[in-house]
């Protein structure tokens, strides 16, 4: 544009050169304003990170102000009403509610009491809380999200990578074509050198692909900004574009389609009479685990007041359970498979399956065999999500390690299309691979930690409720920062809107270039009109992308 303005002044078109610079500067300001609006949505998340924290001595209660980067794991902190939580921490004393909307998009305050976790960047509303730091600020949920968004802002979508490859060749082609057309108009069409030069400058202006360059990244940035504000994190432009093309969604059951808040219904022992011992041993084994079943057993044990016992040789059996020693006795805790593959197979085959809606965990000891029965509930929103996906032509599948009866009960409640039950983690990965064989894009929705292999195997991995989960952030393409399955629908619809707007932007930018280039070659437009069309299309593209910042009605 500067070259054209200088050229216009050399041939005496001072007014047009000045108008060109005015229009170019005005359009540039509007473009910066549009992109600033988008970036402001993202930068607002960065600014909420607190700089200091109030440390307390748990013995004396003495307070001291410390820089947040010096807060270490295990340090006690005090947070007053209205303060922002500096780090991820566990509530030790006090009651309050937390505004987690900045991190998860959750509109309603979340109650907090002793034993609950709070997350950096969220705000304490009304109570005073004493906390114990779970991890340094550099490893907090907020910092992980900030790093994720910063990476996503610089990650290019497939269509953007295509335009990037197309750009250099196009630039040299336009420069060469402009020089050639100048010679053609001057030598073959008997135009004066001044008129030929004027037309060449007009052609150079209208062929510039500014709108095309901005058409994709502006839409991707706006989609990332809206998602971050509403608790949906995309790991880059590729995830935004690909999610719109999915044809199959595979769901984990526990913690995804169901609430994951399991509760122990009953404990059985064989022979009878040792139920208390079974519960106490299971409680001590599960203290070292973090999956939903373990949390339910630990919570049950705490309510029952079970004693802590020394656990030796603890080992996780992937997809099966755990084994360890307590007081010199070897113990196995896990799925029914542990019985069916050992010397108790004949006895296990005669055992009655638990009632529908109940899950089971088996404990094998030298003295007895125990069974713990647990209940879960289906998320009320799961049926709505499955129904909405079906209406959009997306096939839904449930992948679970649970037995067929329990899986069928959940499948009936939510009316899912297909069920694959009794799967080990390896079996789930194989199931995802089979779904991909028909050249359909497959999204896997899981809890982020236990389902990490499946998330990695799918075309699009979507992690649920993954605040602070490294496995979720590493293996998934999309992270739903709260525990609401309906946010997946929001992510899918946002992806579809973003893809539609990208297509609109490309059509606007390329259409304007083609029409204006033909008009410039025909010599029917002045430089000012060419600049107006060029800069106008650029502004329209940016404003069109900004529509993604609005929540659809």
Instruction: Please give the full DSSP string across 1-57, using - where no structure is assigned.
Output: -HHHHHHHHHTT-HHHHHHHHHHHHHHHHHHHHHHHHHHHHHHHHHHTS-SEEEEE-
Same domain, 349 and 241: no
Q: Which domain holds residue 102?
A: 52-84+89-134
Is position 428 within any domain? no
Write down which residue in 134, 165, 196 finishes a domain: 134
Write down which residue in 375, 402, 435 finishes a domain: 375
Same domain, 42 and 72: no
C-alpha distances (whole Å) from 5 to each of 9, 27, 371 are: 6, 16, 83
Structurally, how many domains does the chain consist of? 3
Same domain, 350 and 362: yes
Same domain, 361 and 490: no
Same domain, 172 and 210: yes
| Cα–Cα distance for residue pair 527/230, rounded to 1 Å | 44
Specify the CATH number for the domain of residue 276.
Answer: 3.40.1110.10
| Cα–Cα distance for residue pair 472/484, rounded to 1 Å | 16
- Give the E-state strand segments of 407-508 in sequence order: 418-420, 442-446, 460-464, 478-480
Average confidence (pLDDT) per 10 residues, the chain, 553 residues:
78 77 73 63 62 86 88 91 88 89 69 88 88 86 69 56 69 87 88 87 85 83 84 83 92 84 88 91 84 84 90 78 87 79 70 76 88 87 93 93 82 92 84 86 81 83 69 74 85 94 93 93 87 85 88 73
| Cα–Cα distance for residue pair 154/237, rounded to 1 Å | 9
3-state secondary structure of 470: helix
Same domain, 107 and 153: no
**Own/partner pairs, 528-532, CB within 8 angstroms, 24+ separation:** 528/16, 528/19, 528/20, 528/23, 530/202, 530/205, 530/206, 531/1, 531/19, 531/20, 531/23, 531/24, 531/205, 532/23
Strands 369-375 and 263-270: antiparallel
Is position 215 within any domain? yes
Query: Which residues are annotated as catalytic?
Result: 252
Is position 107 within any domain? yes
Same domain, 330 and 370: yes
Phi, psi of 324, deg, nearest 5: -165, 180
Same domain, 39 and 179: yes
Cα angle 318-319-320, degrees, rounded to a multiple of 5: 95
Is position 115 within any domain? yes
Same domain, 184 and 242: yes
Is position 198 within any domain? yes
Is position 63 within any domain? yes
Cα angle 222-224-225, degrees, rounded to a multiple of 5: 60
Is position 390 within any domain? no
Same domain, 110 and 160: no
Q: Are 323 and 331 in contact (CB under 8 A)?
A: yes
| Cα–Cα distance for residue pair 194/220, rounded to 1 Å | 43
Query: DSSP per residue over 104-173, as a string?
Result: H---S-EEE-TT-EE-TT-EE-SS-EEEEE-S-GGGSHHHHHHHHHHHHHHPPPHHHHHHHHHHHHHHHH
Same domain, 475 and 465: yes
| Cα–Cα distance for residue pair 54/66, rounded to 1 Å | 6
Is position 253 within any domain? no
Predicted confidence at residue 361, as pLDDT, reads 87
| Cα–Cα distance for residue pair 407/258, rounded to 1 Å | 11
Write down which residue in 359, 375, 391 finishes a domain: 375
| Cα–Cα distance for residue pair 345/362, rounded to 1 Å | 13
| Cα–Cα distance for residue pair 408/91, rounded to 1 Å | 39
Both ends of the chain: CA-CA distance in Å?
Answer: 40
Predicted confidence at residue 152, as pLDDT, reads 54
| Cα–Cα distance for residue pair 78/91, rounded to 1 Å | 10
Same domain, 146 and 129: no
């Amino acid at each position: 544009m500067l070259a054209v303005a200088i050229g216009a002044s050399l041939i005496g078109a001072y007014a047009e050169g000045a108008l060109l610079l005015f229009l170019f500067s005005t359009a540039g300001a509007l473009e910066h304003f549009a992109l600033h609006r988008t970036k402001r949505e993202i930068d607002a998340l960065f600014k909420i990170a607190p700089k200091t924290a109030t440390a307390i001595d748990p013995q004396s209660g003495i307070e001291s102000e410390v820089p947040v980067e010096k807060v270490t794991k295990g340090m006690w902190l005090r947070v007053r009403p209205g303060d922002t939580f500096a780090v991820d921490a566990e509530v030790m004393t006090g009651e309050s509610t937390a505004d987690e909307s900045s991190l998860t998009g959750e509109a309603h305050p979340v109650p907090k009491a002793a034993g609950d976790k709070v997350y950096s960047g969220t705000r304490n509303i009304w109570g005073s809380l004493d906390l114990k730091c779970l991890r340094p600020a550099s490893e907090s949920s907020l910092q992980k999200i900030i790093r994720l968004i910063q990476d996503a802002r610089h990650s290019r979508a497939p269509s953007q990578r295509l335009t990037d490859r197309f750009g250099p060749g196009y630039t040299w082609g336009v420069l060469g074509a402009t020089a050639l057309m100048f010679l053609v108009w001057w030598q073959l069409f008997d135009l004066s050198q001044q008129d030929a030069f004027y037309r060449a400058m007009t052609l150079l202006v209208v062929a510039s692909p500014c709108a095309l360059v901005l058409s994709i990244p502006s839409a991707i940035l706006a989609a990332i900004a809206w998602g971050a504000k509403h608790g949906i994190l995309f790991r880059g432009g590729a995830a935004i574009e690909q999610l719109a093309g999915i044809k199959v969604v595979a769901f984990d059951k526990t913690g995804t389609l169901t609430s994951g808040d399991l509760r122990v219904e009953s404990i059985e022992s064989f022979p009878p009479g040792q139920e208390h011992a079974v519960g106490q041993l299971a409680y001590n084994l599960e203290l070292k685990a973090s999956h939903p079943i373990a949390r339910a057993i630990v919570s049950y044990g705490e309510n029952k007041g079970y004693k802590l016992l020394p656990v030796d040789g603890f080992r996780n059996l992937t997809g099966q359970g755990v084994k360890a020693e307590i007081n010199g006795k070897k113990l196995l805790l896990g799925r029914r498979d542990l019985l069916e593959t050992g010397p108790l197979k004949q006895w296990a085959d005669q055992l009655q399956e638990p009632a529908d809606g109940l899950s089971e965990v088996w404990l094998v000891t030298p003295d007895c065999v125990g069974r713990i029965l647990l209940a879960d509930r289906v998320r009320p929103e799961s049926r709505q999500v499955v129904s909405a996906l079906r209406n959009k032509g997306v096939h839904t599948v449930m992948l679970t390690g649970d037995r067929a009866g329990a899986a069928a009960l959940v499948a009936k409640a939510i009316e899912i299309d297909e069920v694959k039950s009794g799967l080990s983690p390896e079996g789930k990965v194989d199931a995802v691979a089979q779904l991909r064989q028909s050249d359909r894009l497959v999204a896997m929705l899981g809890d982020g930690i236990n389902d990490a292999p499946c998330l990695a195997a799918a075309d699009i991995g979507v992690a649920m409720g993954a605040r602070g989960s490294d496995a979720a952030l590493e293996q998934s393409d999309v992270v739903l920062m709260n525990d609401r399955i309906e946010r997946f629908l929001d992510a899918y619809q946002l992806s579809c809107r973003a893809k539609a707007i990208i297509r609109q932007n490309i059509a606007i930018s390329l259409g304007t270039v083609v029409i204006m280039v033909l008009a410039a070659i025909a010599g029917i437009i002045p430089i000012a009109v060419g600049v107006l069309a060029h800069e106008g299309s650029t502004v329209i593209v940016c404003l069109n992308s900004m529509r993604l910042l609005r929540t659809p009605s």
